[in-house]
Structure 1
Amino acid sequence: MQAKAWLIAIMAASLQGCGQDKPAPEAAPTATGPRLTIAASETPDWQSVSAQVTTQDQAQVLARIPGLLSTLSVRAGDMVRKGQVIGRITDSQLAYQSAAYGAQAAAAQAQAMQARAELDRVKFLAANGVYAKARLEQAEAGASAASAQTQAARAQQASVRAMAGQGAVVAPADGRVLRADVPAGSPVAPGMVVAVITSGPMVLRLDLPEALAAKIRPGARVRVDGMAGEGGVTRIYPAVTAGQVSADVAMAGLDASLIGRRLGAQLAVGTHRGIIVPRAFILTRYGLDYALMAGKSGAVTQVPVQTAPADDGRVEILSGVAAGDVLVGAGTGAGR
């Protein structure tokens, strides 16, 4: 009996020691930091689209006469001014035509001088009764015809010279040369593109699926990856090309040195009710986002949430909390 009582006493002492090793339950943390009561608000729906840095227009430098491109003084990337001569087209036939019309003008001038002298002689004789009035009128008509022939020959020569002057390749606008890939010495025809020059202000051109054509409006907000601030749609092109609609966006800070550069952008195509909170109310651990939610008793619970970027460095909470919940700012000393 004594041995049995001794064994029972040892077992009781062991159980008592095990109970003392069990930690006491932690007290629920309390919300001591800044709090935010969640409320839903209208937030834009962002659609990812492709964008290209370009100018509002592109001016083509065209050949106006046939001939050989004797000189081209610009290359892709050069800046030009409106009216600047950047090349010249020559046509050897124009020189021969100008010389021929010049000879005709000289011959017509000699005939006109002869007709004028004959008219003066006939006038003198007619005044003295030698010639009749009909003979005087005939001499006046001959002098007028000779003068007209002189003027026609000179006009033809001036026309050839003006055509030769159109061989100057002139920049139609201020801008940067995008393409100038016709080498000097190449034959060109009227209307052939010799160079392409940017024209107008810098814009961001969006390539949108035609399904978004009915949703986009002038003034719609646009964000660009890697750029601060936002832009607005200024122009929507009224045509669908290969299933896409183009729109221009006015955006500050575009790099004019890389025309044609592709960028990622987001276009606001509508709104929805969402929960937007400052980033300070979200904790991120091992790639997962959490929010500290305060209960009615003041205890803080850490709940996982799903988030998406929003405006001004804020985030939108997609799931995990609801309107009316109270969040505690992260890093305020609340329980984690």
Structure 2
Amino acid sequence: MTRNIWILVFAASLLASCGRDKAAEPQARLRTPTGERLTLAAVAIPERKSVAAEITTRDQAEALARISGRLVRLSVREGDMVTRGQAIGLVVDERIGPETRALEAQIAAAAAEAERAGAELRRVEYLHRRGFYALARLEQAQAGERSARAQLAAARESRSASVAFSGQGEILAPASGRVLRADIPPGSSVVPGMSVATVTAGPPLLRLHVPQSLADRIGAGTAVTVDEDGFETRAGRIVQVYPATAAGQVVADADLSGLAADLVGRRVSVVLDVGSRRGILVPRRFVLTRYGIDYVDLVGREGAVARIPVQTAPAPDPTQVELLTGVSPGDILQNPGNRG
């Protein structure tokens, strides 16, 4: 009998303890931690795009051959500084020498003929005054003398033209600047209009190659930031957008103060400010990362906090992060560091 009583007492105590646990459970579920909270709102986020750029100059002038022939001298190399009008090369047409000598022979022949015609005219004039020759004979001698002098003048002009043509074999620097290309070896055959060297002209700038999908989002004044080290000034602005596309890209020039022309042709990475979009930004301390997954603590309507996964993206401010999925404007987040 006594043993049965103890069994009943023990069972009653177990039931009582279970009742106390069930009564305390709702209170634990309603208890929420307190701490720093943030109400989400959509804000304007600057949108930036990374594109390639090249250090170049506003213009590039070509030193061209003006006559056909053989390049016998090229006195500059890549990187040399030249001034406008400086002689940097020489083209020789081997046909000009024989032609010039032939013209000199023609001049000698024309000069002898002019001398003979002049002597003949003086003799006819003397005899005409004495009445031995008629006026027609005098006029004939005068015409012959004029023709001989004209032929002499023509031969001299032909020789001057030949000498001037040979002088066009000298290649002059078209602008003052730095030589970018001079890769035609001496001894090569060239033709008129062939580029022998390329010279920079104008101040240095950044030439951007922008995808055509961004063409309507850039223009004069668009901010440009160089995304590499080694530049004294890393911020500039677009000064010109060329109205044409090539290979799906738009070319634009950006002015960067203090840009040196020592490394013309160097390719760099730049960041363009192409406007803004609406998004949700939060401080990084509100995002918890575990095993490669980002979480935030979302405060519910009844005050309960739930930890949910979200997708994030870098923000312009390194102390912030953008939330792409999982939350909406108006939601309330709690700092995960305040949870017990």
Please, what TM-score do these two structures have when normalized by structure 1? 0.71
Residues 128-169 of structure 1: CA distance to partner in whole angstroms, max 9, x if unpaired?
443322222212211211111111111111111111111112
Do the aligned partners of residues 151 and 28 (structure 1) sit closer, same or farther apart at CA in structure 2, a change above 3 Å counting?
Answer: same
Instruction: Indicate yes or no: 2:179 matched with 1:177.
Output: yes
The residue matched to 2:95 in structure 1 has which SS? helix
1:238 aligns with 2:218: no
Contact 1:222–1:249, Cα closer than 8 Å, also in 2: no
Aligned to 1:109, which of 102, 108, 111? 111
Query: Which of 250, 254, 279 is residue 254 of structure 2 equivalent to?
Result: 250
| 2:314 corresponding residue in structure 1 | 308
Q: Is the 8 A contact 2:207 2:254 kept in 1?
A: no
The change in CA–CA distance for 1:90 and 1:151 in structure 2 (over 3 A counts) is same
Q: What percentage of residue pairs aligned between the two structures are identical? A: 44
Question: Which one-letter code corresponds to 1:211 in the other structure?
Answer: S
Deviations 1:230-266 (A, max 9, x none): 32141314243xx232323223143422222222223
**Structure 1 gaps, min length 5:** 9-24, 294-301
Cα contact 1:310–1:316 (8 A) shared by 2: no
Residues 161, 37 of structure 1: CA spacing in aligned structure 2 closer, same or farther, 3 A cutoff?
A: farther
Partner of 1:19: none
1:209 aligns with 2:215: no
In structure 2, C-alpha distance between the alignment counterparts of 1:308 and 1:41, rounded to whole Å: 15
Contact 2:87 2:173 in 1 (8 A): yes
Cα distance between partner residues in 2 of 1:160 and 1:151: 14
Change (3 A) 1:211 1:250: closer
Q: Paired residue for 2:80?
A: 78
CA contact (8 A) 2:224 2:254 kept: no
**What 5-or-longer segments of structure 2 have no aligned partner?**
11-27, 299-306
Give the C-alpha shift of residue 335 in structure 1. 6.3
For residues 169 and 270 of structure 2, the distance between their equivalents in structure 1, rounded to whole angstroms, comes to 44
**Within 5 A, what are the aligned runs for 1:147-226?**
147-226=149-228
Aligned CA RMSD, in angstroms, stands at 4.4
In 1, are the aligned partners of 2:245 and 2:251 still within 8 Å (CA)?
Answer: no
Alignment TM-score, normalising by the size of structure 2: 0.70
Q: In structure 2, do the counterparts of structure 1 residues 289 and 200 end up closer, same or farther at CA, with 3 Å as the change threshold?
A: farther
Q: Which moved more, 1:307-316 or 1:156-165?
A: 307-316
Give yes or no for contact 1:225–1:263 (8 Å, CA) kept in 2: yes
Farther off after superposition, 281-290 or 197-206:
281-290
Could you list the per-position Cα deviations for residues 281-330 of structure 1 after superposition, in whole angstroms to 9, with x for gaps in the alignment?
Answer: 9899899999999xxxxxxxx999945343899876667887689999x9
Question: In the TM superposition, what whole-angstrom CA distance separates every residue of 1:67-91 from its partner, at most 9, and x where no partner exists?
Answer: 2221111111222211111111223
Matches within 5 A, 1:1-336: 41-226=43-228, 228-240=234-246, 243-252=247-256, 253-274=258-279, 306=312, 308-310=314-316
Aligned partner of 1:257: which letter? D
In 1, Cα distance between the equivalents of 2:321 and 2:235? 17
